[in-house]
């Protein structure tokens, strides 16, 4: 554990999900493969549909609607819908197909293994402080056994703009009824988590699970209050 700024009172803890409480990389890889396979098998006209085609449609939508990226689920649904429309399906059929594709996506997206130490650490922390999850992603903690530790879960899109914007940080403080300065936000991303939470007055903990060096990372413009390499370190601190 490394300290970069003096810590104050910690009355609540907010957590990023992806790559903070589990390794999200294999989950995303598998989910993308399964999602593309679903689209390819959905209609003969899409047999040759590839990841690059999907990426192109996503970028096209982002250019037309610059704010769509805040809601990654809706962005994906619309991209699939557009792929189906481009393949010649009717509006209704494309909407139905996109809904089915998203149901398939959700299954794979939340098929996540949580390490026993993570359960232990969250259980211990939840017995001491209210915990909240704040995510830019679309994994559903209910599906992989983590929802029970959180008072509530905030999701970019339905709950505001994505981090590092302060929407969800402000909403968390408001719903907890706790001042920003008494909330510790824990996350792996130096921009969305550390800089975002610091700018709205929270204390921050950078979780460095891959042996990164804060002094040599390009996007480390603002120092967190502390750095940990295992979630369990927080249990001794709180
Ligand atoms: Mg993350």
Q: What is the block-wise mean pLDDT of the chain (238 residues), using blocks of 10 residues?
A: 96 98 96 96 95 96 96 97 96 97 97 97 98 97 97 97 98 98 97 96 96 79 93 94
pTM equals 0.94
Catalytic site residues?
A: 16
What residues have their beta carbon closer than 5 A to ion ligand 1? Answer: 16, 18-20, 188-189
Residue pair 115/86 in contact (Cβ under 8 Å)? The answer is no
The rounded Å distance from CA 110 to ligand 1 centre is 15
Residue pair 171/144 in contact (Cβ under 8 Å)? The answer is no
| Cα–Cα distance, 108 to 67 (Å, whole number) | 26
Per-residue model confidence (pLDDT) at position 28:
96
The rounded Å distance from CA 127 to ligand 1 centre is 24
The rounded Å distance from CA 20 to ligand 1 centre is 5
Of 169, 154, 142, 133, which Cα lies nearest the Cα of 21?
Answer: 133
| Cα–Cα distance, 175 to 150 (Å, whole number) | 13
The rounded Å distance from CA 16 to ligand 1 centre is 6
The rounded Å distance from CA 235 to ligand 1 centre is 20
């Amino acid at each position: 554990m490394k300290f970069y700024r003096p810590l104050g009172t910690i009355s609540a803890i907010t957590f990023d999900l992806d790559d903070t409480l589990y390794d999200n990389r294999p989950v995303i890889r598998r989910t993308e493969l399964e999602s593309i396979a679903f689209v390819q098998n959905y209609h003969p006209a899409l047999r040759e549909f590839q990841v690059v085609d999907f990426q192109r449609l996503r970028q096209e939508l982002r250019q037309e609607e610059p704010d769509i990226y805040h809601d990654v689920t809706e962005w994906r649904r619309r991209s699939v819908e557009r792929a189906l429309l481009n393949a010649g399906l009717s509006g209704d059929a494309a909407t139905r197909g996109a809904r089915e594709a998203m149901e398939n996506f959700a299954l794979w997206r939340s098929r996540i293994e949580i390490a026993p130490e993570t359960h232990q650490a969250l259980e211990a922390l939840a017995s001491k402080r209210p915990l909240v999850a704040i995510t830019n992603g679309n994994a559903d903690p209910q599906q992989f056994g983590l929802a029970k530790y959180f008072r509530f879960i905030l999701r970019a899109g339905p709950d505001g703009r994505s981090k590092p914007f302060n929407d969800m940080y402000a909403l968390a403080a408001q719903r907890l009824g706790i001042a920003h300065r008494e909330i510790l936000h824990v996350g792996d991303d130096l921009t969305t988590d550390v800089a975002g939470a610091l700018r709205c007055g929270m204390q921050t903990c950078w979780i460095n699970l891959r042996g990164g060096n804060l002094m040599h990372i390009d996007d480390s413009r603002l120092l967190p209050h502390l750095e940990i390499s295992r979630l369990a370190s927080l249990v001794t601190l709180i």
